[in-house]
Amino acid sequence: MSDVQIITGNQAAAMAARLCNVQVVAAYPITPQSQLAEILSQYVESGSLRAEYVRVESEHSAMTVCISASTVGARVFTATSANGLLYMHEQLHWAAGSRLPIVMCVVNRGVGAPWSIFNDQQDSLSQRDTGWIQIHCRDNQEIMDSVIQAYRIAEQVYAPVMVCYDGFVLSHTMMPVHIPGANLVRSFLPPYKPHTILSPENPKNINPVLLPNPRMSAEGILCDGYMEMRYKLQKAMEDSREVIIKTSREFADAFGRDNGGMLWEYRTDDAEVILSAMGSVAAEAMAAVDQLRAEGIGAGVVGIRVFRPFPKEDVARAFRKAKAIILFEKSISYGYEGGLSSELKAAFYRTDIHAPVHDYIVGLGGRDVKARELVEAAKSSVEAIRSGTPEKHTSWLNCITE
């Protein structure tokens, strides 16, 4: 049973969290996430979600509450944006280091200073190395689907998952979304089984000080040092790729919608020009590709859905036939280029992909990104590559740079 409702991205996320029967919610409101925090309060106070809602005084505490509640065995949820996410930064590492299956929505927003409440992806991209799985959604349906999948992934690999979606562009925009039935979600998502339970019946000292080298326990068992624990987190993140793909496939079987696993493709079968992006820009790129094709350019889209673990094998396959690769990114790694550009180029190392990669920084701080602009950028890149100048410095689209 599923019904279709016309809802915002924040509503989709809140409904998904309720469908997943989260037991503890801790959130601090921040634009554009606020609506999500409000809807969940409504659910809890009206009794349609049986959960503890901790109205914390900061994002740092929001993530802390999630960490501790998850440690005692509860399924937890939180959401934030921009500076709220940055304020959590210490706790993001702590959550991943504790190997807790926390799911958080990141409603992407530009980072201050100066202040912007509007969308880009600088916030989540700058949390790349915290040990969190990052899923980027292209529309509100994918938000709903990804939150449900995120719990199943997190609770299998014992790593936290960020479900990222663009502020306002998705969070406040209404779209038709299939709402799955509660029984279907319940059968897809088994109850959470913690790896370690903090309980008086079996006293443990969780996350104490570790020494560099493995040490013997009182029972004579050699236990991990700090470095072994770090390796295990890395291994879990690498191995999570298979779990993400399998979860996406099983979700498609059960719910009838395929989000693509690590990435998704649009009209790429015969495409020589591949446009690539994450989140709502990737959806916009589909409209651009239709227009490019109408003008005779064989273009397609590869939407990068999962940024961590990075889909190395998947991009090597998806881009193998590309003659030109054009990226649109809503973040910048200051002093170099867009984060996706660096990652993709590294993934192409020692493959047969030698296509030029043109990187466009777009839509920072909410500047509108139109399909027409993507078309113009793609055409100028294709023209430059065809005329024998494949190299291009990172360009800032629709931005006064002189």
Partner 1 sequence: MPENLFKMNAKEYILPGSRSCQGCGLSLAYRFALKALRENTIVTLPASCLCVLHGLYPNTSVNIPCLNCTFASTAASASGIVAGLNALNKTDTTVVAFAGDGGSFDMGIQSLSGAAERGTDFIYVSYDNEGYMNTGTQRSSATPMGALTTTTPVLTKQQHKKDFLKIMEAHDLPYAATTSPSYPIDLYEKFVKAKRIKGTRFIHIHVPCPPGWSYPTKDTVRIGRLAVETGIVVLFEVENGKLRFTGRSRTLAEKGNKLPIITYIERQGRFKKMSIEQLSQFQKWVDSRWNEFLRRAAN
Span near partner 1 by CB under 8 A; candidates 11-19, 48-56, 149-157, 294-302: 48-56
Q: Which residues contact 268 (CB under 8 A, 6 or more apart)?
A: 274, 300, 301, 302, 318, 321
Region class of 99: left (phi > 0), else alpha (psi between -120 and 50), else beta: left
138: three-class secondary structure by DSSP: coil
Chosen residue from 57, 253, 270, 352 binding partner 1 by CB under 8 A: 57
Both tokens of 382, joined, read 């294709």
Give the interface segment with partner 1, choosing from 88-96, 133-141, 282-290, 312-320 (CB under 8 A).
Answer: 88-96
Q: Give the range of 171-179, 210-218, 292-300, 347-355 binding partner 1 by CB under 8 A.
A: 210-218
Can residue 218 be called a binding residue for partner 1 (CB under 8 A)? yes
> Any contact of residue 212 with partner 1 (CB under 8 A)?
no
User: What is the rounded CA–CA span in Å between residue 380 and residue 386?
Assistant: 10
- Six-digit token string for 284: 């916009």
> If DSSP codes are grouped into helix, strand and coil, which group holds residue 26?
strand
Q: Is 220 in the site for partner 1 (CB under 8 A)?
A: no
What is the C-alpha separation between 164 and 122, in angstroms, rounded? Answer: 11
Does position 90 bind partner 1 by CB under 8 A?
Answer: yes
41 binds partner 1 (CB under 8 A): no
3-state class (DSSP) for residue 359: strand
Give the one residue of 2, 42, 199, 213 binding partner 1; rule: CB under 8 A: 199
Count of residues near partner 1 by CB under 8 A: 46
Q: Is 74 in the site for partner 1 (CB under 8 A)?
A: yes
Residue type, 133: I
Amino acid at 228: E
Q: Which is nearer to partner 1, 194 or 303 (CB)?
A: 194
Q: Which of 388, 148, 137 is nearest to 255 (CA)?
A: 148
Other C-beta atoms closer than 10 Å to the C-beta of 354 total 10
Q: Which of 38, 44, 52, 390 binds partner 1 (CB under 8 A)?
A: 52
Residue 245 and residue 149: Cα distance in Å, rounded?
A: 10
> Which residue, 63 or 135, has its beta carbon nearer to partner 1?
63
Q: Which stretch binds partner 1 (CB under 8 A): 134-142, 151-159, 192-200, 377-385?
A: 192-200
Cβ-based nearer residue to partner 1, 66 or 111: 66
Residues 129-188 that bind partner 1 (CB under 8 A): none
Q: Is 217 in the site for partner 1 (CB under 8 A)?
A: yes
Query: Distance between CA 361 and CA 332 in Å, rounded?
Result: 7
Give min distance, CB of 26 to partner 1, in A: 7
CB of 219 to partner 1, least distance (A): 9
Please state the separation of Cα 350 from the chain's center in Å: 27
The nearest distance, CB 3 to partner 1, in angstroms, is 28
E strand residue ranges, 345-394: 357-361
With CB under 8 A as the contact rule, which of the stretches 112-120, 197-205, 283-291, 365-373 interacts with partner 1?
197-205
Q: Does 401 bind partner 1 (CB under 8 A)?
A: no
* CA 319/CA 79 separation, integer angstroms: 33
CB of 170 to partner 1, least distance (A): 29
Q: Of the candidates 84, 88, 82, 119, which has an alpha carbon nearest to the alpha carbon of residue 102?
A: 88
**Among residues 8, 10, 23, 130, the one that binds partner 1 under rule CB under 8 A:** 23
Instruction: Mark 70-88 as b/e (b = at least 16 C-beta within 10 Å).
Output: bbeebbbbbbbbbbbbbbb
Antiparallel, parallel or unpaired: β 133-136 and 215-216: unpaired
The verdict on 60 binding partner 1 (CB under 8 A) reads yes
* Structure-block tokens of residue 215: 């040490």
- The answer to the question of residue 247 lying near partner 1 (CB under 8 A) is no
Least CB distance to partner 1 at residue 221 (A): 8
Judged by the rule CB under 8 A, the positions of this chain that interact with partner 1 are 23-24, 26, 51-52, 54-58, 60-61, 64-74, 76, 90-91, 94, 198-200, 202-211, 215-218, 221, 223
